[in-house]
Amino acid sequence: MQIIKNIHSWKEIRESLDKKERIGFVPTMGNLHPGHLSLTRASRNENTQTVVSIFVNPTQFNNPDDFTHYPRTLTNDLDLLRNAKVDYCFIPQAETLYPDNYHYQISENLQSIDLEGAYRPGHFTGVLTIVMKLLQIIRPHTAYFGEKDYQQYALIEGMTKAFFIDTTITVCPTIREDSGLAYSSRNNRLSPELRAQAEQFANIFHQGSTCSQIESNLIQAGIEVEYIREKNNRRFAAVYVGGIRLIDNYSLCAL
Ligand code: PAF
């Protein structure tokens, strides 16, 4: 696996790749888990070259504490990517990705202010802006995102259509631990007691027949609910477990 630390080096590689190559791209913020590895697998199955980026994007953290505490585990991440037979890992610096000091932004003004957007002001503008920059730099044929962040995936897909970007956006199923808890970098911050509560969240969220029933079951289990909502035949949840924010969602069509 080749590690690329600056935009110029990647552009040279990109230019040198044969036109027949198909490039799959998995953008990440590192602290990789089986959910990310399912995306690299999908990319390897469908492309001849797979690029993963690792960049903890400061502009998408509405809570500065979350940015500070985001686990940075580069050595382990690189080992996982090598084992996963990823071809290139792009690890840019914030200064090179934001030469404009974030004065230029990509925002969406309808879906991005609902659900996650309502509770995390500015989050999706940060996400869309960094993903737009990464798509412009990497120029992949296909980019892969997890269903766990469904709203993020839908907004990125909408952005690529709105701006005529030549990248197919593919969504891959949420990968869950045996307990049903969706893999997330935030799970690493859970103590054993909080992990038990997080697993309860996953269970209760998948069992209720209505949102209000789920909400009252969660409250009874001592879990702080931010929202349980249905939208476009999908059920979404955000909760706090010991101050750690967890999200989940699933399609109601499959039920
Ligand atoms: O889902 C993530 O890890 C991030 O939001 C992404 C897409 C890598 C943008 O920073």
Residue type, position 204, single letter: I
**pTM for the whole structure:** 0.97
Token match 């957007």: residue? 117
How many other C-beta atoms are found inside a 10 Å radius of the C-beta of residue 104?
A: 11
Out of 36, 130, 155, mutate this one to test ligand 1's pocket (max ligand atoms within 8 Å of CB): namely 130
List the structure tokens of 69. Answer: 């505490």
pLDDT (tens digit per residue) in 106-135: 999 999 999 999 999 999 999 999 999 999
Ligand 1 atom index nearest CA of 57: 10
- The secondary element (H helix, E strand) that includes residue 235 is strand 234-241
- State the Cα–Cα distance between residues 132 and 93, nearest whole angstrom: 16
pLDDT (tens digit per residue) in 124-182: 999 999 999 999 999 999 999 999 999 999 999 999 999 999 999 999 999 999 999 99
Pocket of ligand 1 (CB under 6 A): 27-29, 57, 60, 127, 130-131, 149, 152
What are the phi and psi torsion angles at 192 (to 5°)? -55, -40
pLDDT confidence of residue 47: 98
